[in-house]
Amino acid sequence: MPTATFQFPAGFLWGTATAAHQVEGHNTNNNWSAWEEEPGHILNGQRAGAACDWWGGRWKEDLDRAAAGGQNAHRMSIEWSRIQPEPGRWDEDALEHYRMILRGMLQRKLTPMITLHHFTDPLWLTAQGGWENDETPAQFARFVEKAVEALKEYNTLWVTINEPNVYATSGYVSGDFPPGKQDLAAAFQVLLNMVRGHALAYRAIHRLQPEARVGVALNYRGFQPAHPGNPLDAALVRFLAHNFNASFLEALSRGRFRYALRSTAVPEAVKTQDFVGINYYTTDLVAFDLSAYQDLFHRRFYPGDAVLSENGFIRHTPQGLFEALHWGQKFGLPLLVTENGVEDSQDGLRPRYIAEHLHQLWRAINFNWQIKGYFHWSQVDNFEWERGWSQRFGLWGLDVDTQTRIHRPSVDLYTAVCKSNALSSETVQQYAPAAYPALFPG
Ligand code: IFM
């Protein structure tokens, strides 16, 4: 059997990623808690509830496990509605709570990365129209100033907004996220305001902390034509690739936001990122479909022979991570994989998924693209938005009723990688044998 070791660069960041609403528990002052209360929004009527009880202190045991597993970084988010429960009121205890967690990370030798906005908005902001309101970018910048002032002692890596493209698509096109709209014009306005909010936040952070490194975590989805050679499929792939993947970051490099056939100048957004954060999960096939007029005449689907995750949500397409990084490196900035993972309560696919995605990551590094780290989603099962608790993305499982953490075999695979800063044939053979033939063809 062929053997080899795929070595990663010295200083590479290996971590997991989490988000406040998904792990903290008892966030009752944001738009998601209100959304969860209304019937029909979350699968099986579930709620975040106590989540992973991080606010109650269980962040300690999860970060203990992360550190014991050889990780050297952790990406977390802070909850705007806790820090600013009302306009003009700041909760110093909440900020101190986050300072404590950050100290806990540093004590465990985990380099923190803070996401300032990860899907949730304070209820008072929602009442003012949320990100459709043109005042929101300035409101966001005030929150960012307050948070960065309080936390900068412990953190220099900032993600301003997580997946603005998913926030806008799910909240304003498909309607799966609050506020449940299906309104492309509103989606345009929301994204435009997020571009503006990001730009204001970028400058505010750098004013307060010149050495900061600031970026966006973009959800990059692969799109392939269902019928290669069909010009309509190809045109739709280009349309989706631009609107979903490219439009937000393009605004930060070119100063023009183009989305859904509309366009606006945003000169203030130019040169407002220090790295490109990429969240990659999967790749769709795209076909022109005359009957799908409500979906702009296209269908997205997975092929019949696809390797799928437990609930069919994710198609195993590791090559797509390479393509995402290829796309991302064109911005000429350092890259970070800010999320990558798979829903899999039985851990049947996850070891293979991790090994084959890390192989693609290593391939990309060998092109000398400046890739600085990888954050697996996620450390422990957590509340999966409109899909509730039905999808389990944790390296560690979670018994939601007892808060017991459940060891999954993927923990040992990821530990071996993080500790050796490498993916070796021995590691793959031991922990992810299903990936062996693809990675080490004989
Ligand atoms: O859980 C989410 C996360 O909040 C954003 N990126 C995708 C993950 C998995 O669906």
Mutational pocket test of ligand 1: of 384, 386, 387, the residue with most ligand atoms within 8 Å of the beta carbon: 384
The pLDDT value recorded for residue 231 is: 97
Backbone angles phi, psi at 137, to 5 degrees: -55, -40
| Number of helical (H) and strand (E) elements in the chain, helices listed first | 16, 15
Atom of ligand 1 nearest to the CA of 384: 1
Question: Distance, CA 232 to ligand 1 centroid (Å)?
Answer: 30
pLDDT along the chain (442 residues), means of 10: 94 99 98 98 98 98 99 99 97 98 98 99 98 98 98 98 98 97 97 98 98 98 97 96 98 97 97 98 96 86 98 98 98 98 98 98 98 99 98 99 98 98 98 97 86
Catalytic residue at 163? yes
Catalytic residue among 36, 250, 339, 384: 339
CA of residue 440 to ligand 1 center, whole Å: 31
Tokens 């994204």 — which residue? 191
pTM: 0.98
pLDDT of the residue at 344: 98
How many Cβ atoms from other residues are within 10 Å of residue 262's Cβ? Answer: 12
The DSSP element (H or E) to which 285 belongs, if any, is: strand 275-288
Distance CA 322, CA 359 (A): 9
Question: How much distance in Å is there from the Cα of 175 to the middle of ligand 1?
Answer: 16
Cβ–Cβ under 8 Å, residues 257 and 266:
yes
Q: How far is the CA of 384 from the centre of ligand 1 (A)?
A: 7
Nearest CA to ligand 1 atom 4: 19
> For residues 128 and 66, what is the distance between their CA atoms, to the nearest angstrom?
39
Separation of alpha carbons 113 and 29, rounded Å: 24
> Secondary structure of the chain: what % helix, strand, coil (to 5)?
45, 20, 35
What domains sit in the chain, N to C, each tagged with a CATH number?
A: 5-439 (3.20.20.80)
Contact 223, 323 (CB under 8 A): no
What gap in Å lies between CA 269 and CA 37, rounded to an integer?
Answer: 37
How many beta carbons lie within 10 A of that of residue 27, not counting itself?
21
Tokens representing residue 272 in the block: 């407002």
Closest ligand 1 atom to 393 CA: 9
In the 8-state DSSP scheme, what is residue 8?
P
Q: Ligand 1 pocket test: which of 163, 166, 310, 392 has the largest number of ligand atoms within 8 Å of its C-beta?
A: 163
Quote the ligand 1 centre to 164 CA distance (angstroms).
12
- Ligand 1 neighbours (beta carbon < 6 A): 19, 22, 163, 279, 339, 377, 384, 393
- Report which protein residue has its CA nearest ligand 1's atom 10: 384
CB 241 within 8 Å of CB 184: no
Distance of CA 173 to the CA centre of its chain: 19
Residues linked to residue 48 through DSSP beta bridges, in sequence order: none
Region class of 298: left (phi > 0), else alpha (psi between -120 and 50), else beta: beta
For residues 113 and 102, what is the distance between their CA atoms, to the nearest angstrom? 9
| Active-site annotation holder among 24, 163, 250, 384 | 163
* Sign of the CA dihedral running 18, 22, 26, 32: positive
Which residue's C-alpha comes closest to atom 2 of ligand 1? Answer: 384
Q: CB of 324 within 8 A of CB of 220? A: yes
- Half-sphere CA count of 333, side-chain side, radius 13 A: 20
Alpha-helical regions (H) of 294-398: 319-328, 350-365
